Structure 1
């Protein structure tokens, strides 16, 4: 640890950043945890033990997260192996998978699956006309199906990189000793890539636990933790936050346990392989190549199905909840831009401000953590990672409980909307900025200072330009995920502050799928356009490992 020079501005800037992080991250989290114990004999944890529906929600959430994690691995791992080791027709379209994850918000995915297999869905109605009655898509079946097709991508992305970099010479050595090819993969390759698989699986588990959009839309009467937390927050209205805080605390504890397990696995299960070579993808021809190509293409098509359906629904005539497929109109799109454009304006303003402030804050704090270390900077690093353990619902409740009144009343203002988006995505900017700063030599900065440039000017003129690619990547990721955010914003918004995702969520609740599709299509467009501009024009690689 460097000796602190209090004549320098950096320690004071570190202290200011620490105050900000404590105020807007730790303080709301502490309020949630303390509120769960209640007062006057109202202990939320005691009430929870006697709350059958609450206990069922916790149990169902754990079961759902376990099943979805398993099914996601069941699709993601084999798909990653085939992609890394073989070349076949249709392989190029698998490159769309990371883009699908960013472009299609979860609320749109849930909506479009209902438009296909819901009570008035396309396939449901077609089969009903010929006498085939499908079971309800609400409940376990719909939740597992939709969440699997959302989250298997995370397993695929995490695993395909590990397999691609696995040293094939280890397999060849095992086979030269008489081990069969299949056995060599299980005995040699699997232990090496297992940490990547488990880390991806644990990520999926935490995301299912904290999932709000799909869980709320498809759970129906099935109790789930995120839904129970939201319902408690809405019904209590912030006046008696005991149960909402208790449910939120349970969610935090569950996610933190999984994150600690993830860190332990990564730290203790990593194999070091040096000077190895990955396997060259082998061309798969004939029937096997066709079958694998068709299966891979089918998986991608099913993943893209929400995008296809929302495009059609946005231009389809509707009579209340009934979509008249085959009859086209621009009235739905006109509603988004002319009749009721406020959600679009709000989304762009809130996400834009959150991205600008968040990326600027991340760049400065990351610089302090990496280049200007002192006794405060480790705390900056730890606290800035806390949002990873908070679902959007928990964050929203924490902000409402903490800033509803008192010394900093933010509830009802646009500031709390921006704050929710900023905190939710803060780790994106921190991760990218720190990774880049570790690769910037201190000698360049020292040379600038030795030539008479003051510290701030050196940071602005020397360090910041070298961080530009990472900052641009983080900005795109922050923008795309902030503008699609629902779980936190739905709890902190007030009348007139609806965003596109909130508007889609409300329209789905009213069963107005045509209008929901129009708003959803515009939402996808303003997510996709910056990605296309960044990757095609400015050559920003937003999917590169940082």
Structure 2
């Protein structure tokens, strides 16, 4: 443990001050702002207004429904992917990449282009006498969110199944238990903590979702949508209700994360790592059936991407798209007339990624290797963004830095700050996981040879962390450049990013132009992933190993 007064202690203090100003202070303002001034309390309004209570109820119901559907799809898919070889199995490996590549705003847009009132599938079926029910509201929300989030459950479950010791199954079968019963009685309880933890993560993502809820929600009142409307209402923002609604979402997520942490902590005592079962080759009709089922899931997951590409090259007049009439005019208009969102995204996300990774690396080193009186608080505070939706983060930053000693509202700085706060836990988790595997003796040997502690960190420890830092940088970039919920709260005119521009075009019904911007966003996301995985051989999905 680093002693008080050492350079590491003062660095910890400096990091705590930074987090207190840019994370704790905005969170404090959100919570206190919900109580309002005088006799108007946001909580009394919340309890008195049926639409607010309905929004909370709908959000919880949507979270439960989507969590259930993701588990139903992901767990069987994870089991067959971990235990069997079947035709087309290699395509299942792209599922985590789909999650990274297709931002939520694009997923919602393309589902609307396929199954909305004027969607290509809707119109095709209508021409053949089949009228589909409206995709807006509950059907669209559940379908779009399920195929956006089921890979989170898939990744966690397939890792747990591959790490399960198959000898436990064999022992149960040797005692006369059938193969199916042995899996239900032996394997299922062991992997259940991983499944539940992943499922609860999906629930928190649904609660904080903004893009899909706004675009496909229709007349279903949801917490994230009402929070956004309270923040940007044309008649003037309602600071009390935006704080109250944001506080409710924070409370929901914190409760779920507490349950998740409890489940994971119990799972650490229950999961037995050992010899994983060798994947069995499936042939004939059974192998073909599994391959087709898995292929259908992958195809449905890729439909938004295929629709986006087609839409970007489809001629349109206003909101009317002429499917089958191809053109490059949408992309030409983007690059020639309105390239600012692309430039803004590159600059803001790039700056946020560099600052976030540098900050995360230093904080992780302090927490893992230089523990002192301050590092427990540092560890706890850096996890707070996990309980904050993007909308809540944006509201907190605007409330805290709208004026006063640090007026950031209306500048690019508040957008970059929102990105950094939103994705801070990504870098912390990646860097910490590597540091736990770096022996202290390596650094101590360097110091014993006369190299100062800070220089030893830079010359010895940092190079060992390089692969994890690179992976964290790529993952931070891909999620930051696609971020919408926080940036749409804090941005000002002329500082639109690609996701914000896409959202505005969707709101105006200009799907072809939105598709062009979406295609550029996909390329911006995909290029670093390809370079990292193919050129530098960085494993971005180590959890699948």
Local SS of the residue matching 1:159: helix
Q: Deviations over 1:153-189 (max 9, x none)?
A: 1111100111111111111111121212111111111
1:234 aligns with 2:244: no
Tell me the residue number matched to 1:335: 333
Equivalent residues of 1:29, 1:398 under 8 A apart? yes
Tell me which residue corresponds to 2:397: 399
- Map Cα deviations across residues 355-394 of structure 1 (whole Å, 9 max, x no partner): 0000001111111111211111111111011000001011
Partner residue in 2 for 1:45: 43
The answer for the alignment partner of 1:388 in structure 2 is 386
2:376 to 357, 378, 384: 378
- Whether the 8 Å CA contact 1:58–1:224 is kept in 2: the answer is yes
Q: Which residue of 1 aligns with 2:522?
A: 524
Cross-structure match for 1:459:
457
User: Which is worse superposed, 429-438 or 56-65?
Assistant: 429-438
Name the CA distance, whole Å, in 1 between partners of 2:73 and 2:234: 41
CA distance in 2, matches of 1:236, 1:431: 40
Structure 2 gap segments, 5+ residues each: none
- Structure 1 residue 273: Cα displacement: 5.7
Counterpart residue number, 1:182: 180
Matched with 1:224 is 222
Please give the per-residue CA displacement for 1:190-213, whole angstroms capped at 9, x wherever unaligned: 000000000011000000011000
Query: TM-score, normalised to structure 1's length?
Result: 0.98
Shift of 1:454: 2.2
Residue 423 (structure 1) aligned with residue 421 (structure 2): yes
Distance in 2 of aligned mates of 1:387 and 1:274: 31
Distance 2:129 2:83 in 1: 45
Confirm or deny: 8 A CA contact 1:238 1:401 kept in the other structure.
no
Conserved 8 A contact 2:3-2:9: no
The match for 1:450 among 448, 451, 454 is 448
Corresponding residue for residue 267 of structure 1: 265
Match of 2:3 in 1: 3
SS, match of residue 270 in structure 1: helix
- CA deviation map 1:401-433 (0-9, x unaligned): 111111211100000000000110010111111
For residue 130 of structure 1, report the CA deviation from its aligned partner. 2.3
Residue of structure 2 equivalent to 1:345? 343
Aligned to 2:290: 292
1:513 aligns with 2:511: yes
Shift of 1:269: 3.5
Residues of 2 paired with 1:18 and 1:276: CA distance?
40
Aligned with residue 470 of structure 1, among 468, 472, 495: 468
- Out of 177, 185, 190, which is 1:192 matched to? 190
Which ranges in structure 1 are unaligned for 5 or more consecutive residues?
none
CA distance in 2, matches of 1:484, 1:535: 20
Give 1:126's aligned residue. Answer: 124
Residue 317 of structure 1 pairs with residue 315 of structure 2 = yes
Q: How far apart, CA to CA, are the structure 2 residues paired with 1:429 and 1:276? A: 29
Could you tell me which residue of structure 2 aligns to residue 500 of structure 1?
498
What does residue 211 of structure 1 align with?
A: 209
In structure 2, C-alpha distance between the alignment counterparts of 1:448 and 1:211, rounded to whole Å: 47
Structure 1 contact 232–244 (Cα < 8 Å) conserved: yes
Deviates more, 1:424-433 or 1:446-455: 446-455
CA distance in 2 between counterparts of 1:152 and 1:189 reads 21
SS at match of 2:268: coil
Partner Cα distance (2:121, 2:238) in 1 = 44
* Deviation (angstroms), 1:81: 0.6
On the 8 A contact 1:192/1:271 being kept in 2, the answer is no
Q: Kindly indicate whether the alpha-carbon contact (under 8 Å) linking 2:427 and 2:476 is maintained by their aligned counterparts in 1.
A: yes
3-state SS of the aligned residue for 1:459?
A: helix
Contact 2:394/2:487 (<8 A) preserved: yes
- Deviation (angstroms), 1:275: 6.7
- Return the alpha-carbon distance in structure 2 between the equivalents of residues 358 and 220 of structure 1: 36
Query: Could you list the per-position Cα deviations for residues 196-238 of structure 1 after superposition, in whole angstroms to 9, with x for gaps in the alignment?
Result: 0000110000000110000000001110000011011111787
User: TM-score under structure 2 normalisation?
Assistant: 0.98
2: CA distance, partners of 1:438 / 1:147: 35
Bigger mean CA deviation after superposition, 365-374 or 294-303: 365-374
